[in-house]
């Protein structure tokens, strides 16, 4: 068998799966002792150009409690097979000719992931409901209008589109009218029950006494279609309508914020879709330029002298509207989620816009959050365009109304999931009582997802210590994702994985070497971030520290009283490094971040795939110089040199930093002189690389071009490990809390010389972007971990007591 690295890579490519452990401890007790739970990152819709969907219904196990989908594992009677009864009887007639050499696709090992196209009712059109804030500066509004008009050309022609605008009041625009433009207007201060909204929009007959109002059937035309029309039919109309959109006309007195009724606007959007297209894929796209200032869901009052809540206020319990607003948006988010509608938030403003309160709308429904300074920035414009990007088949990279079901073999139970999902409260036999993330269910709803959407799933080994699994047995997990494809087909993606059981006592080395530290880091990080949403920051940090220390205790080797003797095997060597950066990351540290920013960062962290997540945890740094080709360097202050240009990618920011000398040269204009063509090229190189990243990432990162001494250099300085700048406030100021662990792990060793060689190898196989990421790991794999064991142990005692 190939190395674990290759195995992991292969599995990820095929199934979109990364497991924390690739050998599973065979008993509950042992599993607990491993610290990092049996868990995996799963990317349900991972792009598989090589996997054509099959056009028939999946075959299910006939046992009511199982209903597993036919899969390669069934042939070897390993895991799902035995519980699934008599397989042969199950096969429908079309499977009659089955034999060792003539197998249906789903029985072949390379189809451990398979996609079915199934017929379920009439195809439902995609629905896009724009909810547009009109309390914007003229320039912003203009830019937004243009973006929206442009987006019409990106939508599938048969998609339904709707428009709600809001400011002090909310307008729901009718799109099918000739002549006079009609809109229904609602006041922004009054909470309306879903039913009232539907009545007021004329979607249902009001319930008159004694006679129940009966909702219009979905698709039944006239009523619902007034507001949601096929793009191709109302293209012109809507373009004009958007063109005529005016800023909210109500005067805003001096010293006041505009009255912005975001809360009601969203409740109407949700109510409208709920009443017309329940259980159909739909996106509510909120474009807002400021915080909700009135009505339910208000985040801040309209008095400018009262600033919007900060972390400080929240910690001091001084945020008046926080709880109420959060509760309000959560209720909305749940309503949307129940109906399979997702909510995107595009918030562009210099100040906060209330993402903290509204984040659940996107988090629970799989919507996007995009945060920018203005709608008139390429950050917003391009990110928004990218929502409608298409894949290799020319189809939108978005799917709707998905549900993910997890089935496990009986030794395992599922504890929960962390990702853009909500529980479907489906209690199966494989549901654990021990909840991690969103638990207590084996099915989750993911209202909207992209090929990159990745969930973390946590499991529990339930096998008792005294009933070991026979050697060579395998545990299996099946993921069944039903979703509405962007081409309106219903599809089912089934991924089945299996891992060998291992006895933790006799095979601890094997288990150790099966450790996927990258996946584990991300899985633990998600747990940490999930906790951080509900717990105090220091508690989460302490918990993370404790986990790290326990892991080091379990797998580290050292001689007592000899710090220098501490060693971790290669499969764990990077893990502490990741934890170090995670502790400093904005996902867990709120210092210097607004509540909105924290929410924004966390939002993306819990849904990106492994590669992106790692970039977020530990930004990558590239160095450009005359001394050779660009190279990845340590995220350390020692990497900042006068004659280098640095490119740092933190996922959210892309920083190009010109060293002191370079900056002087550039200022002197050498790049303009023909004889310094090479300097010009040197300047250009990081720009080109940055451009590549900018082109492909969603959301588009903030692009920062700075130099030694520039004010924006802080973005770089705050990220690097301050090994050489002892007084650097950016780095240390935010680390005031927590244990002293960071003192221990803060000094990375020098990079190995092998780096360059590896880089070249990788270059051949990956696109540049992934390459950039890979580098980071490759380099860091070779770092050592010079911890002082004595101190470490001391702390571990601290932490455990």
Partner 1 sequence: MTAVLTKPSRGVLKPSVSSPSVMPPPPLISSPYGSNLQQNGSHSNSFTPSVAPSIPPYGQPPPAAFHSMAQSPPPVQQLTNQMSAMDIAGYGQRPLQSPSNSAAPQFLNSPPPLMGHPGHQMPSPVSSPLMTSMGPIPGGPMAGSYGAQMAGPQTAGIPGSFSPSGSQMAGPAQKKLDPDSIPSTTQVIEDDQIKRGGQIYVTNVRGQVPPLVTTQFTVQDQGNASPRFMRCTTYSFPCTADLAKQCKVPLAAIIKPFATLPENETPLYVVNHGETGPIRCNRCKAYMCPYMQFMDGGRRFQCAFCSCVNDVTPEYFQHLDHMGRRVDLYERPELSLGSYEFVATLDYCKNNKPPNPPAYIFMIDVSYNNIKSGLVKLICEELKTLLERLPKEEGAESSLIKVGFVTYNKILHFYNVKSALAQPQMMLVSDTAEMFVPLLDGFLVNYHESNAVINNLLDQIPDMFADTNESETVFAPVIQAGVEALKAADCSGKLFIFHSSIPTAEAPGKLKNRDDRKLVGTEKEKTLFQPQRGVYEQLIKDCVSQGCSVDLFLFPSQYVDVATMGDVPSHTGGSVYKYNNFQVEVNGQQFLSDLRRDVEKFIGFDVVMRVRTGTGFRATDFFGAMFLKNTTDVEMAAVDCDKAVTVEFKHDDTLSEESGALMQCALLYTTIGGQRRLRVHNLSLNCSSQLSELYKSCETDALINFFAKTAYRAILNQPLKAVREILVNQTAHILACYRKNCASPSAASQLILPDAMKVFPVYMNSLLKTPVLVGSTDLSTDDRVFHRLLVNSMGVEETQVLLYPRLIPLHNMDVSSEEIPAPLRCSEERLSDSGVFLLENGLTMFLWLGHACPAELLQNLFNVSSLTHLSSEGLQTVKQKDRAELLFRQLLIEDKGLHGGASYMDFLCYVHREIRQLLS
Tell whether residue 166 is a contact of partner 1 (CB under 8 A). Answer: no
List strand residue ranges (DSSP E) for 240-385, in order.
282-288, 341-348, 369-372
Site string for partner 1, 66-85 (x = CB under 8 A): --------------------
User: What tokens appear for 427 in the block?
Assistant: 């209690």
Spatial separation of the C-alpha atoms in residues 684 and 671, rounded to whole Å = 10
Is the backbone of residue 494 left (phi > 0), alpha (psi -120 to 50) or beta?
beta
CB of 225 to partner 1, least distance (A): 16
Site string for partner 1, 240-259 (x = CB under 8 A): ----x-x--xxx--------
Residue 479's beta-bridge partner residues? 406, 495
Choice between 264 and 529, CB closer to partner 1: 264
Query: Which residue among 63, 120, 190, 316 contacts partner 1 (CB under 8 A)?
Result: 190
CB of 334 to partner 1, least distance (A): 24
Query: Which residue among 82, 109, 206, 221 contacts partner 1 (CB under 8 A)?
Result: 206
Spatial separation of the C-alpha atoms in residues 693 and 673, rounded to whole Å = 29
Residue 778 half-sphere exposure toward CB, CA atoms < 13 A: 20
Tell whether residue 591 is a contact of partner 1 (CB under 8 A). Answer: no
Query: Which residue among 137, 146, 199, 756 contacts partner 1 (CB under 8 A)?
Result: 199
Tell whether residue 213 is a contact of partner 1 (CB under 8 A). Answer: no
CB of 202 to partner 1, least distance (A): 7
Query: Which residue among 51, 90, 150, 200 contacts partner 1 (CB under 8 A)?
Result: 200
Of 193-201, 475-483, 725-733, 737-745, which segment contacts partner 1 by CB under 8 A?
193-201
Tell whether residue 216 is a contact of partner 1 (CB under 8 A). Answer: no
Q: What are φ and ψ of residue 17, in 5° steps? A: -120, 135
Tell whether residue 185 is a contact of partner 1 (CB under 8 A). Answer: yes
Tell whether residue 202 is a contact of partner 1 (CB under 8 A). Answer: yes
Query: Which residue among 19, 66, 201, 494 contacts partner 1 (CB under 8 A)?
Result: 201
Choice between 222 and 506, CB closer to partner 1: 222
Choice between 183 and 334, CB closer to partner 1: 183
Is the backbone of residue 503 left (phi > 0), alpha (psi -120 to 50) or beta?
beta
Query: Which residue among 49, 92, 122, 179 contacts partner 1 (CB under 8 A)?
Result: 179
Close Cβ partners of 277 (under 8 Å, ≥ 6 residues apart): 124, 127, 160, 218, 219, 224, 228, 339, 341
Query: Which residue among 186, 311, 459, 622 contacts partner 1 (CB under 8 A)?
Result: 186
Spatial separation of the C-alpha atoms in residues 793 and 788, rounded to whole Å = 9
Residues touching partner 1, count (CB under 8 A): 23
Tell whether residue 171 is a contact of partner 1 (CB under 8 A). Answer: yes
Spatial separation of the C-alpha atoms in residues 253 and 265, rounded to whole Å = 23
Restricted to residues 256-295, the positions that interact with partner 1 (CB under 8 A) are none
CB of 293 to partner 1, least distance (A): 17
Spatial separation of the C-alpha atoms in residues 640 and 646, rounded to whole Å = 8
For residue 296, give the nearest of 320, 271, 274, 328 by alpha carbon: 328
Choice between 136 and 417, CB closer to partner 1: 136
Of 201-209, 438-446, 537-545, 700-708, which segment contacts partner 1 by CB under 8 A?
201-209
Tell whether residue 182 is a contact of partner 1 (CB under 8 A). Answer: yes
CB of 458 to partner 1, least distance (A): 46
The residue whose two tokens read 């005016």 is 246
766 near 774, Cβ under 8 Å?
A: yes
551 near 53, Cβ under 8 Å?
A: no
Q: Name the DSSP letter for residue 107.
A: G
Choice between 185 and 749, CB closer to partner 1: 185
Query: Which residue among 192, 252, 424, 791 contacts partner 1 (CB under 8 A)?
Result: 192
Alpha helices in 293-354 (DSSP H): 311-315, 322-338
CB of 207 to partner 1, least distance (A): 10
Tell whether residue 784 is a contact of partner 1 (CB under 8 A). Answer: no
587 near 605, Cβ under 8 Å?
A: yes
Of 20-28, 192-200, 475-483, 750-758, which segment contacts partner 1 by CB under 8 A?
192-200
Tell whether residue 210 is a contact of partner 1 (CB under 8 A). Answer: no
CB of 223 to partner 1, least distance (A): 13
Choice between 40 and 170, CB closer to partner 1: 170
CB of 180 to partner 1, least distance (A): 5
Is the backbone of residue 661 left (phi > 0), alpha (psi -120 to 50) or beta?
alpha
Q: Name the DSSP letter for residue 201.
A: T
Of 14-22, 176-184, 316-324, 746-754, which segment contacts partner 1 by CB under 8 A?
176-184
296 near 328, Cβ under 8 Å?
A: yes
Of 13-21, 184-192, 610-618, 744-752, which segment contacts partner 1 by CB under 8 A?
184-192
Query: Which residue among 65, 108, 181, 535 contacts partner 1 (CB under 8 A)?
Result: 181
Close Cβ partners of 588 (under 8 Å, ≥ 6 residues apart): 528, 529, 532, 537, 540, 541, 544, 582
CB of 289 to partner 1, least distance (A): 19
Distance of CA 496 to the CA centre of its chain: 23
Of 133-141, 197-205, 509-517, 533-541, which segment contacts partner 1 by CB under 8 A?
197-205
329 near 343, Cβ under 8 Å?
A: no
193: part of which helix (H) or strand (E)?
Answer: none
User: What tokens appear for 84 in the block?
Assistant: 């699934």
Choice between 117 and 252, CB closer to partner 1: 252
| Angstrom distances, CA of residue 661 to CA of 621, 625, 682, 709 | 19, 11, 13, 11
User: What tokens appear for 324 in the block?
Assistant: 């109420």
The residue whose two tokens read 């989460």 is 540
Q: What is the contact surface with partner 1 in residues (CB under 8 A)?
A: 169, 171, 179-187, 190, 192, 199-202, 206, 244, 246, 249-251
């Amino acid at each position: 068998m190939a190395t674990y690295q290759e195995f992991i890579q292969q599995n990820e490519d095929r199934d979109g799966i990364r497991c924390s452990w690739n050998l599973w401890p065979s008993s509950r007790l042992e599993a607990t002792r491993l610290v990092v739970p049996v868990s995996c990152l799963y990317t349900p819709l991972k792009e598989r150009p090589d996997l054509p969907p099959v056009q028939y219904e999946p075959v299910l196990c006939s046992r009511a409690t199982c209903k597993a989908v036919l899969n390669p594992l069934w042939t070897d009677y390993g895991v799902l097979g035995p519980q699934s009864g008599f397989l042969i009887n199950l096969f429908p007639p079309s499977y009659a000719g089955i034999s060792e050499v003539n197998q249906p696709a789903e029985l072949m090992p390379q189809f451990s992931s398979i996609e079915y196209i199934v017929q379920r009712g009439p195809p439902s059109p995609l629905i896009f409901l724009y909810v547009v804030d009109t309390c914007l500066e003229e320039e912003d509004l203009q830019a937004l209008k243009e973006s929206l008009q442009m987006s019409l050309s990106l939508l599938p022609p048969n998609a339904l589109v709707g428009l709600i605008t809001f400011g002090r009041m909310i307008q729901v625009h009718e799109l099918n009218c000739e002549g006079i433009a009609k809109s229904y207007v609602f006041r922004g201060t009054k909470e309306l029950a879903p039913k009232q909204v539907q009545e007021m929009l004329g979607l249902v007959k009001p319930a008159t006494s004694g006679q129940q109002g009966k909702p219009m059937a979905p698709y039944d035309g006239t009523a619902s279609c007034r507001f949601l029309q096929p793009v191709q039919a109302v293209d012109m109309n809507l373009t004009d309508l958007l063109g005529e959109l005016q800023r909210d006309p109500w005067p805003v007195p001096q010293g006041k914020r505009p009255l912005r009724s975001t809360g009601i606007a969203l409740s109407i959007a949700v109510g409208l879709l709920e009443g017309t297209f329940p259980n159909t894929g739909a996106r509510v796209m909120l474009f807002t330029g400021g915080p909700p200032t009135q009505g339910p869901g208000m985040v801040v009052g309209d008095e400018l002298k009262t600033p919007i809540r900060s972390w400080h206020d929240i910690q001091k319990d001084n945020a008046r509207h926080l709880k109420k607003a959060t509760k309000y948006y959560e209720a909305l988010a749940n309503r949307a989620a129940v109906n399979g509608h997702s909510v995107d938030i595009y918030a562009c403003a210099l100040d906060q816009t209330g993402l903290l309160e509204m984040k659940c709308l996107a988090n629970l429904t799989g919507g996007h959050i995009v945060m920018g300074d203005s709608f008139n920035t390429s950050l917003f414009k391009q990110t928004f365009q990218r929502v409608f990007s298409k894949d290799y088949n020319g189809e939108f990279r978005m799917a709707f109304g998905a549900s993910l079901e997890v089935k496990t073999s009986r030794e395992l139970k599922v504890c929960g999931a962390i990702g853009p999902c909500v529980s479907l409260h489906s209690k199966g036999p494989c549901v654990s009582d021990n909840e991690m993330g969103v638990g207590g269910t084996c099915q989750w709803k993911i209202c909207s997802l992209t090929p990159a959407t990745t969930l973390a799933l946590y499991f529990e080994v339930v096998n008792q210590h005294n009933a070991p699994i026979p050697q060579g047995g395998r545990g299996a997990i099946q993921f069944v994702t039903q979703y509405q494809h962007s081409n309106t087909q219903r599809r089912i993606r089934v991924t089945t994985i299996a891992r060998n059981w291992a006895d933790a006592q006799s095979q601890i080395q094997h288990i150790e070497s099966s450790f996927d530290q990258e996946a584990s880091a991300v899985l633990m990080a998600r747990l940490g971030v999930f906790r951080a949403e509900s717990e105090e920051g220091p508690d989460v940090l302490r918990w993370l520290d404790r986990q790290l220390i326990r892991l080091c205790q379990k797998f580290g080797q050292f001689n007592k009283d000899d710090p220098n003797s501490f060693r971790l095997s290669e499969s764990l060597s990077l893990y502490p490094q990741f934890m170090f950066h995670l502790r400093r990351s904005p996902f867990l540290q709120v210092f210097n971040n607004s509540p909105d920013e924290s929410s924004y960062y966390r939002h993306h962290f819990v849904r990106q795939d492994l590669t992106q997540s790692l970039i977020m945890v530990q930004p990558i740094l590239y160095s450009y110089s005359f001394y050779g080709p660009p190279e990845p360097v340590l995220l350390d202050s020692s990497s900042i040199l006068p004659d280098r240009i640095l490119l740092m990618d933190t996922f959210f920011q892309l920083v190009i930093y010109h060293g002191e000398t370079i900056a002087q040269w550039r200022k002197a204009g050498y790049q303009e002189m023909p004889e310094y063509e090479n300097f010009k090229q040197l300047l250009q190189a990081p720009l080109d690389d940055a451009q590549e990243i900018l082109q492909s990432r969603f959301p588009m990162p903030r692009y920062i071009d700075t130099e030694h001494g520039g004010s924006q250099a802080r973005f770089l300085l705050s990220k690097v490990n301050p090994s050489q700048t002892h007084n650097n406030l950016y780095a240390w100021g935010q680390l005031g809390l927590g244990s002293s662990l960071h003192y221990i792990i803060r000094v990375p060793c020098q990079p190995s010389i092998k780096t360059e060689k590896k880089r070249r190898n990788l270059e051949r196989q990956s696109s540049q972007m992934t390459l950039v990421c890979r580098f980071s790991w490759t380099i860091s794999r070779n770092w050592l971990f010079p911890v002082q064991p004595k101190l470490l142990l001391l702390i571990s005692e601290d932490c455990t007591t």
